[in-house]
Each structure stands twice: as structure tokens, then as C-alpha cells.
Amino acid sequence: MWPWIVGSLIFLLLAGGIIAGAFGMQFWSEAQRARAAVERAAVAMEDLRDNLDSADTAQVRAATDEIQANVTLAVRTVDGPLWDIAANVPFIGRNVDAVRRVTHAVDVLVERALPPGLQLMAATDFDQLTVAGGGIDLEPFRQVQGSIPEIAAAFADAQAIVAPIDTTALLPEVSASISDVVELIEVATPALGVAEKYLPTLLDMAGSGGVKTYLLIFQNNAEIRATGGNPAASMIVTLADGRLGYVDQGSSQTFYQAGTQGEEYVALPAETTRLYLPTLTRHSQDFTFTPDFPTTAQLFEALWSHTTGATFDGVVSIDPVVLSYLLAVSGPVTLGTGEQLTADNAVRVLLSDAYERYPDGDDSDAFFADAARQVFDHLTTSVWDPLQMLAALERSADEQRIYLAFDDPAAQALAVEFGLDGALAADSTTQTQIGIYLNDSSVGKLEYHLSSSIAATCDAAARTITTTMTLQNGIADGIRSSFTLGARNARLGVPRTTMILDVLFFAPPGAQITQTVPLRGDVPRWERTGLEKGHTGVSKTVFVGKGQTETVSFTVALPAGDLGPLRLRHTPTATSTPVTIDASCAALFPDPSLGR
């Protein structure tokens, strides 16, 4: 009997193999058919996007029908019975499930997000946003407003479909095929949610419902301050239905001439003022000593109110590096002197050359006023790519060069959402904020020649983080301007080319600074400690001589309990500041890479 039994088993196995092979061939054929359908839909989508402006309604409808038909074919294919069987096969099943999920997600987007998206794209021209006389055409954004909720809901549902997919557990071929779609959905969904939430606020901020007035301050990184630099130059602008209006310009001389410079209009707690020179609240050039931008905005609003009676809906801060990024998108601007300001020379001209060229203060003020006005007019009247301009602004924000403060709670919530509020965090639940900042005490413009880098390391067992900053003085031999060279240096017995920097170390709320390097600063009597909005702060004065490199650091003992993601704030210089977060910090913070 055994030969018959063994023979029967072999027959059954062979038959099963043949049947499995047949099923496998059929499944492979269906997979190829589904993939080809999705690829045809993708090609049709690209063609539709490229030809949307020139295509008539019939062509758009035909292209849309083709896209939908191909995606429908793909969905019907992956919903077949063979796919149900394959989805339960060990290891292979997760790959099959991932393909099905992505196909269904694409179907949701094509059925629900594509139609309103096409209507939106056909009705608006985002390449022609500027209006005559300066400003932004708000009409495309008003039209977007009606479509975004529907598109955002489609993307949210698509994200729910693909959420269970773990691309790292898939076959490389499958992962490579679906990763772009999954990433697009994961990136676009929260962005659309933010757009839906804040577009009405953005329209209101742009003057859609009435005139808005803003104070724009320019921080001069050559005379460094905690959030950038000496904010000696400013401009008042209005926005009325997207149209920009120029109201006035100001400088520190504006307040001297009015007799309001040197007066205190905002009283800060004594524990805070102990950290800074007493000019923090009395001189506009020093309003940015504090790393808390809402305080800076409050000081400026009070000073302007007492000087001219002006009130503002918001205060915006940028620096010349931001201008260089914007000029890279808009193209160069010609100044009143006939000189061109470009992305490549803007920082050097504004932060160094101007002081060598104009030894008289009135002349340099006139040059800066003209440069600010010409750049303002150029950016608001020229034609530029909005996506590239957005990328330039994002880069500026990542480098901590843009800060916003608004009176309207909704507008301020937007600034907080995008990390542009520049505020000292109230606690460490949403972010663990470590700060290392610089304030010039030489009374010069030496810091155009400053370069810096930052590194953070952690001791998880001790719950400490040590932040180190390296400072290098690269001033050239040919610098002669009395504005650039340190005016206070002689009384401290150091060359005028030596940078005198007050280094501010800030711990998160509830944390303590346990060690600093140097232990004592180069001017011991200038050492200061205090508390600002719950953050313990220490200030040490450091000399950085010409051609020299100095290193400063501080160690913070973190509070007990869970910590939010690390947010390492620092002063933006005239050049980029590389930030390195050591792998040792991963044990303390959910995502230490965010600290960069």
C-alpha cells in the first residue's frame, strides 16, 4: 500500500504546484495590469498639469476621465479574489496589502481631490501674484479657500488608508514603487490641514477685511544681538486687500530727535533686567538684547506710540541674509547710487562695505534708508516664482532669521504654529528650549566677520545636556571704519578689532545651569544672572581677538518628567551656523534632530 500512498501524495503535490503556479502567473499578470494602469494615470496627470493653461474644457474633461478610468481599473484589479488570497500569505501578504492600500488611497485622491483641484488650478494663476503698485493679488487665495476643505478631507482619508504601511518591512521593489505616493500623502495632509485652519487668518492679515499696519524692523548682524542684531532701521507698511503701502521709515535717530530715546515705557521684572545692560528698555538699538521676541515687539510698539502715536497690528523682524535669499528669487535691485544689490553681495554691502564707504553717520543712514526702500519696492512689484520665494522664506525661518508678533490672537497662533514667534517657551511639554545667544558689547560692527558653530551632547543617566559654541574672528586687515571697530575696546585695554561678546546661556523652565565655560568671563564685573519668563539665564563676557577662535559652553540639569523635542535656539550671524546634535541626546528627547 505504501507505494500507492506515496504516489498519491506526489501526485497531489505536483497538482498543487501546477495550480499554485497558475494562480501565481495570473496574480503576476494582474499586478502588472494594475501597475500599468496607475502609471498611465500618472503620465496623464503630468500632461494635464503641463497643459492646463492651454487646454480647453473638453480636453481637461477627457484627460480627467482617462485618469479616473485607469485608477478605477487598478482598484478593481487589486480587489480581486487572488489578491484576497495573496494578502494572507506570510511575508508576501504585507507587500500585497501595501499595494492595495496605496491604490485605494490614489483612488480617493483622484475621485475627491482632483476635481476641485483642477477647478482651482484652471481658475487661478499663481505665477502672476503681484499687482501693480506693489502687493499680492488675494483673489486666487479666496478661490483656494473654498476648495481646500474638500481637498484636505480627501487627503486625510487617504492618509488613514496608508497609515498602517511600514515601508521598511516591504520588499525593496514594492517599497520603491509606493514610497513617493505615501510620502506625498504624509507631507501634504498636515500642510493642507494648516492651510485650511489658517488661510482665513492669512487673508485677514493681508488686509482682506480692512487695512493692517505693520512695523518691519531690520536686524543688523554686524552689531550682534540675541535675535540677530542692532535693529536701528525700521519701516512702517500697510496692507489693504493685499496691496502694500509705504507709510514711514525710522532709525535710532528718529527717537533721539523726538526726545523719546533713553526713556523707559515698558517696565520689565527686575529678575529679567539683571541679565542685561540697563539700555535694554531705554534704547531702541538694544531692544533685541532679549531672546524673547514678543518683549522686543512690545518695546518697539510702546516707543513708536509715544514718539508718533503710531500703532501696529504686528511687528516683523528680518535681517540682511533674509534679503539676500529673497533677491536670489526676485533678481537684483538697483539702488539710488546706481549700484546693484544682488543675492551675492547684499550682506557684504549692507553689513560691511557701507561703513567703509560712508564714514559720516548721516550718509550711512541715508544709504540704508534708500536701500531698504528700493528693496521693498523691488520685492513687491517684480514678478517671481511663489514656490521659490516660499522656499527662501522657509530657509530663513529654519535659520532663525524671521520673527513675527501680532496683536490678533489668531495671527499670533499662526506665528506659534510655524515657530516664528521667537518666544521663550512657557514649559518643556511641546519643546525643550535650550538657548545660547550673543550680544555685542564693543559698540561696533565687528560681527560681520564672526563665524560660529554649535554642538550639543547629552548624558542621559545624569539628565544633562551640554551645549558648546565655537566663535571665530575673521576680520581682515583693511577694515578702518570707526563704525566697525569697537568703540568701547580702549577702556578695556583690548585692540579695536577684538570682539567683545556677552554670551547668554539660557536653560529651559525648571532646569538649572550647573556649569559654564568660561567659569569667569573676561570682564568679571559684567557677569550677570537672572530669570526671564521662567528661564534661568547667565551672561559671560568673552573677548575674541582678530584671527582667534574661542569656545564657550554650558551644562544644563534638565527637570524631571517627560521632555518635548529639543529646540536649540541661537543667534543668527551674517553667515550660517552649523548645529550638531549628538546621538547621545536621543535617549532624552523624542526627536533630538529637531534641535537643529
Report the pLDDT value the prediction gives residue 72, as an integer from 0 to 100.
77
Which class is domain 212-398?
A: alpha beta
Report the pLDDT value the prediction gives residue 35, as an integer from 0 to 100.
67
Give Dmax (Cα) for the chain.
Answer: 116
Contact 309, 319 (CB under 8 A): no
- Per-residue pLDDT at 246 exceeds 90: no
Q: Which of 373, 439, 374 is nearest to 571 (CA)?
A: 439
Pairing of strands 450-459, 579-581: parallel
Q: What is the pTM of this model?
A: 0.83
Q: List strand residue ranges (DSSP E) for 424-479, in order.
A: 432-440, 450-459, 464-473
Q: What is the pLDDT of residues 57-67, one digit of tens each?
A: 566 667 667 77
- Per-residue pLDDT at 204 exceeds 90: yes
CA distance 21 to 279: 84
Confidence of residue 18 (pLDDT cuts 50, 70, 90): very low
- Per-residue pLDDT at 457 exceeds 60: yes
Contact 466, 457 (CB under 8 A): yes
Q: What is the pLDDT of residues 467-485, one digit of tens each?
A: 999 999 999 998 989 999 9
Taking each helix axis from N to C terminus, what angle separates 114-123 and 57-78, rounded to the nearest 10 degrees? 160
Report the pLDDT value the prediction gives residue 20, as an integer from 0 to 100.
47
Residue predicted with more confidence, 212 or 368: 212
Residues paired with 314 in a beta bridge: 214, 406
DSSP string, 156-186: HHHHHHHTT--GGGS-HHHHHHHHHHHHHHH
Report the pLDDT value the prediction gives residue 130, as an integer from 0 to 100.
66
- Per-residue pLDDT at 567 exceeds 60: yes
Using DSSP, state whether 398 is helix, strand or coil.
Answer: helix
- Per-residue pLDDT at 98 exceeds 80: no
Report the pLDDT value the prediction gives residue 212, as an integer from 0 to 100.
96
Distant-in-sequence, close-in-space partners of 396: CB < 8 Å, separation ≥ 6: 318, 321, 322, 325, 402
Report the pLDDT value the prediction gives residue 326, as an integer from 0 to 100.
95
DSSP state of 251: -
- Per-residue pLDDT at 44 exceeds 70: no
Domain ranges of the chain: 2-203, 212-398, 427-595
Q: Which of 157, 161, 162 is nearest to 180 (CA)?
A: 162
